[in-house]
Amino acid sequence: MAVPEPIEPQRLGDYLAVMSRAVFQAGLSWKTIETRWNDYLRLFEGFDPHVVASFDSSDVERILDDGGVVRTYRKVVATVDNAKAMLELDREHGGFRNYLRSFDSYASLAADLRKRFKFLGELSAYYFLFRVGEPVPRFENWEKGIPGDHPRMREMVALAREKGTSPERPSA
């Protein structure tokens, strides 16, 4: 299975896609979501936040009834709510990247993300920020404060380091 690599977001939908992947992967094996990712892209219209934010209950039912995705009602609804929150922050800050860079530390940004976005916990926030190329603490330091073992995250960070694309901050 391929390990997700950091990306250079080109549009707001890139941020929503990475965040949504983090949300849907939470509590599941990464492979479960990866093998169905094209269905997620199709059902969520490429994660265009303007489109996803307009989804109503019939769209949620359409997604759940399709069979191409893991049927988790709360995560589908969270994706719609997260699209709305992302659009709001994009407007307020003149760009979502500006919002992400308006914090003086990883800890304050991660806390704000977890407060504003649904189903985004400690691990998902790190995954999201790492994947979109925002500075994150060195994984070995950050991992010490997060319960459990995170072999896929460890593998993702190691791969990015090998390729020289790791957005880790030297100290944090």
**Residue 3 falls inside a structural domain:** no
**Residue 1 falls inside a structural domain:** no
Are 130 and 157 a contacting pair, CB within 8 Å? Answer: yes
Q: Which of 27 and 146 is assigned the larger pLDDT?
A: 27
- The pLDDT assigned to 76 comes to 97
Are 119 and 26 a contacting pair, CB within 8 Å? Answer: yes
pLDDT score of 169 more than 70:
no
**Residue 4 falls inside a structural domain:** no
CA atoms of 89 and 40, how far apart (whole Å): 23
Number of domains composing the chain: 1
Instruction: Average the pLDDT over 56-62 and give the result.
Output: 98
pLDDT score of 171 more than 60:
no
**CA-atom Rg of the chain in angstroms:** 16
Look up the domain containing 100 and give its range. Answer: 12-163
Give the CATH number, domain containing residue 70.
1.10.340.30
In sequence order, what are the beta bridge partners of 136?
A: 168
Confidence bin at 139 (pLDDT 50/70/90): confident
End-to-end Cα distance, the chain: 30
Q: What are the distances in angstroms from CA 6 to CA 32, 142, 160?
A: 20, 18, 7
pTM: 0.87
* Closest-CA residue to 86 (of 113, 55, 123, 124): 113
The pair phi, psi for residue 60, each rounded to 5°, is -60, -45
Q: What are the distances in angstroms from CA 109 to CA 9, 17, 97, 136?
A: 18, 19, 12, 10
